[in-house]
Amino acid sequence: MALSGYLCLILHSHLPFVRHVEHADSLEERWLFQAITESYLPLLDCLGRLSREGVRASLTVSLSPPLLEMLDDDLLKKRYKRHLFIMHDLACKEIARLKGSRERPLAEMYKKRFERAYDMYTRELSEDIPSAWKRLHESGSVELMTTSATHAYLPLLIQDESVTAQVKTGIRAFERRFGFTPKGFWLPECAYSPEIEPHLRDAGVRYFILETHGILCGTPRPRYGFYAPVLTPLGLCAFGRDIDCGKQVWSADEGYPGDGAYREFHRDIAYELPIDYLGKAIPGNIRTPTGIKYYRVTDRRSDHKELYDPAAASDRAKTHAWNFVFWRNKEAEYWSSVLGKPPLMTAPYDAELFGHWWYEGPEWIEEVLRITSGPDVIVRSVTPSEYLEEHPPEDIVSPAASSWGYRGYSEVWLGHRNGWIYRHLHACQEAMAEACKTHRGAGGIVRRALNQAFRELLLAQASDWPFIMTSGTAPDYARKRVIGHIGRFQALIAQVDSGEIDETYLREIEERDKVFPFLDFESFLGEAEESRAVPSPR
C-alpha cells in the first residue's frame, strides 16, 4: 500500500485553576481529580502500552499552564490521593450492597480501577504526571505544546499588554516545567484574530491550530483547503481542523461516543442513591458525579438504559478505531488524487473527552495510533513538527478571525450572560499598565503586592468563566471567581497606591491564588513594549 495521507491527532489538556485552600473539601476540585482518574492516567497507560509493544505513536498533547500548576501542587496531590481513598471505599460499599446482583461485577471493576489509579499515580509516576508527559516527548512519541497563561480568550483582551502577558507567561511556565521551548501554541478556544499573531511571532511560536473556517475563509483562499498548513504573512504556520474528523467524534448525533454500547455518562450513582449512603463521596451533600456508573447509552434518545458491558464496549471502541481509520484512508485516497499531494487531516480534541466524557475514548485513541503507526499504512500519524519537516507550507494565507464553539465566532464567550465581564477586565488591564509605570523598580512588599495583582488579573481573564456562564454548568461559581479575582486585584492596587498594604491580607491571597511563582509585574508592560518594538519580517 502506498502512503496517501497523514493524520495529526492533537489532545488539548486544560482545566481552570481551582485550588480552594480555604475549604477542606471543594466540589470544583473534583474536576481535576476526575480528569486525572478518568482521562490523564488512562491516556498515559495506553501510550505506555504502545511503547512496550514497540509502536512509535505520533501524538500531540497541549498542556495548559493552570493544569500544570495544579498537577504540581502539593495540596492538590494530597487531596487527590484522599479522593481516591474515598472513591475506593464507596466502591467497596457498592460491592457489599450489590451482592448477588448483575451490577456487582461492575462495582468490582470500579474498585480495581481506583486501585490501579492509586498505584499508577503514586508508585509508577511518583505523583508527577507532567514528567510522564516529558518522558514521552523525549522518546519521540508525543509532541508537547502550550497555551496562554490562564487560557484567556485572546481576541477579547484588546490591550496588547494583556495578550503579550498571557502568551509569554504561558510559554515561560512551560519552559520552566519542561526545560525546552515549545514549537506549538494552542490558541485558547481556537480563537484567532489577526491582532494576536504578532504576539505569537514575537514569543517564538512556530505553529498554531485553527477551526476549519479560520483556514477556509483565509485570504487568499488556500489551494489545499484545510488539508495542508498555511504560512501566514508573519511567518507562522496555521493548521486547520478537518471537518470529518471532528464530526465523527464530537457530533452529538453522529459521533462515536453516542453508540449504545458505550457507558452512559449521566447515569451516576450520585444521582440515584441516598445522600447519607454516599457520604464523603459528595462534598457538602451536593450531588456530583462519583465516576461509578452501571449503565450504557443503549439509545441516546431514550431514558431507558441497559446494563453496561465493559467487554462489548471495549470491542466497539476498537471497531470504531478501525472505522475512523477506514474513512481517513478513503478521505486521503480521494483528496490526494484531487490535490496532487498527500493531505494532512488535523484532528484536535479536548483531552478530557477521552475517558471522562467518553469512557472508552483512551482505548479508541490507543487503537487509532496503533493502526496508523505501522510501516505499511495508507494514512500515517504525525505530529505538526514532523509534518512541517517533510512538507513545508506552500501557500501564504492570512487566516480569518474565528473560534470553535457555537457558530464559530466568539459567541459562546461574548454574549448576554457574560459580556459584562469585559469592561471590568479592560479597566483592570489599564490599571495594571499604569501601576507598572508608576512603581517600576519597586521592591519589598510593594513588589509582592503588584506581583499578586498581576496573578489575579491573569486568573480573572480565564476563558473558562465566560464559557461556564454560557453553558450553565456552574454559572454562580464562574461569576464568583471573576468577581473575586477582580476584587482582589482592585484591593491590592488600591493598597499599593495608598501606601498602606495589609500584609496579612496579601499573605492570605498569595496562599489562596498560588500560581506562577516566577511572575514579575514589570513584565506586564516591559514585555509588551518590547513586543511592539520588534519589526515584522518582510
Catalytic residue among 189, 352, 366, 367: 189
**Which long-range CB contacts under 8 A does 245-254 form with residues at least 24 apart?**
245/7, 245/328, 245/345, 245/346, 245/347, 246/212, 246/347, 248/324, 248/327, 249/324, 249/347, 249/349, 249/353, 250/349, 250/353, 252/300
Task: Spell out a b/e string for 70-89, using b for 16 or more CB atoms within 10 Å of the CB, else e.
Answer: bbebeebbebbbebbebbbe
Copy the grid coordinates of residue 186: 494552542
Say if CB 6 and CB 387 are below 8 A apart.
Answer: yes
Copy the grid coordinates of residue 104: 456487582
φ/ψ of 316, rounded to 5, equals -65, -35
Say if CB 95 and CB 7 are below 8 A apart.
Answer: no
Catalytic residue among 103, 333, 350, 430: 350
Whether 350 is catalytic = yes
Copy the grid coordinates of residue 511: 496562599
Terminal Cα distance for the chain, rounded: 43
Whether 53 is catalytic = no
Crossing angle for the helix pair 522-533 and 160-178, to the nearest 10 degrees: 100
Say if CB 354 and CB 361 are below 8 A apart.
Answer: yes
The span from the CA of 75 to the CA of 514, in Å, is 11
φ/ψ of 516, rounded to 5, equals 50, 70
Closest by Cα among 368, 10, 396 to 210: 10
Copy the grid coordinates of residue 482: 471573576
Say if CB 353 and CB 10 are below 8 A apart.
Answer: no
- Give the catalytic positions in this structure: 189, 350
